[in-house]
Amino acid sequence: MSTIPTATISRLVTYLRILEQLESQGIKRTSSEHLAEEAQVSAFQVRKDLAYFGRFGTRGAGYTVPTLRRELRRILGLTRSWNVAIIGMGRLGQAIANYPNFDSYDFILKGLFDTDPEKIGQSISGLEVFHPEQLPRLVKEKGIDIGFITVSPEAAQIAADALVQAGIRGILNFAPAVINVPKEIHVEPVDFLAGLKRLSFYIQNPQLKEELA
């Protein structure tokens, strides 16, 4: 068991997506080879990633799509649903609150927060916007597990502190800023401006894209 690469977790999410697509197409069986092709990794990698968690296939035959899908959902903690709050109801926060079928993705929107008095009391996507001072109470009452930070980079650390204080367990950080939280709280950055700047680097330095002689 020991230590599981973070890249493995990212790939499990990709495998799960592929399995869900296969299942919706009525395909019953697959193989490490096939999953590897769809996920654009090696078949070794697929098998090694799965081996961290157990044995899910049949030698000589491959994997049963619904079984492996169920196992991956269990591994990823998707047998339960997670309650989510959004801090920052600017354009981005509103776009996410209105994301179509957000609730079908095993994550349920339970709270919206903003410091702007204009926004407090407004209803967005069927939920009232509260001041962040209500966070501790509402996190407890509604069983909120995860917070989205969609405030400005300057306010991101304050929002993170408020979420941690309120007893949240994980943070999805959309702000272009590094936030500092206790190590038992997991943070996932979602940062398209950083992605753009990485793109800029790789376009400008194409020789680093596989050392083509």
Partner DNA sequence: ATATGTGAATTGATTCACAGCG
Partner DNA sequence: CGCTGTGAATCAATTCACATAT
Per partner kind, with CB cut-offs from 5 to 8 A, the member of a copy of itself, DNA, none near residue 169 is a copy of itself
Distances in whole angstroms, Cα of residue 13 to Cα of each of 20, 44, 55, 190, 212: 11, 17, 18, 15, 31
101 binds DNA (CB under 7 A): no
Q: State the minimum distance, in angstroms, from the CB of residue 182 to a copy of itself.
A: 10
Q: State the minimum distance, in angstroms, from the CB of residue 14 to DNA.
A: 12
For the record, the structure tokens of 186 come out as 């997991």
Straight-line distance from the first to the last Cα atom of the chain, in angstroms, rounded to the nearest whole number: 40
Instruction: Choose the binding region for a copy of itself from 14-22, 63-71, 109-117, 122-130 (rule: CB under 8 A).
Output: 14-22
Instruction: Choose the binding region for a copy of itself from 61-69, 101-109, 119-127, 136-144 (rule: CB under 8 A).
Output: 101-109
| Separation between Cα atoms, residue 197 and residue 152, nearest integer Å | 19
Burial of residue 163 (CB within 10 Å: 0-12, 13-18, 19+) is buried
Alpha carbon of residue 127 to chain centroid: 22
* C-beta of residue 150 within 8 angstroms of C-beta of residue 87: yes
55 binds a copy of itself (CB under 8 A): no
Q: Which amino acid appears at position 170 of this protein?
A: G
Instruction: Looking at residues 166 to 205 of the shown chain, list those that interact with a copy of itself (rule: CB under 8 A).
Output: 169-172, 174, 176-178, 180, 183-184, 186, 188-205
Q: State the minimum distance, in angstroms, from the CB of residue 70 to DNA.
A: 14
User: Which residues contact a copy of itself by CB under 8 A?
Assistant: 3-4, 6, 9-10, 12-14, 16-18, 38-40, 75-78, 82, 91-92, 95-96, 98-100, 105-107, 145-146, 153, 169-172, 174, 176-178, 180, 183-184, 186, 188-206, 208-212
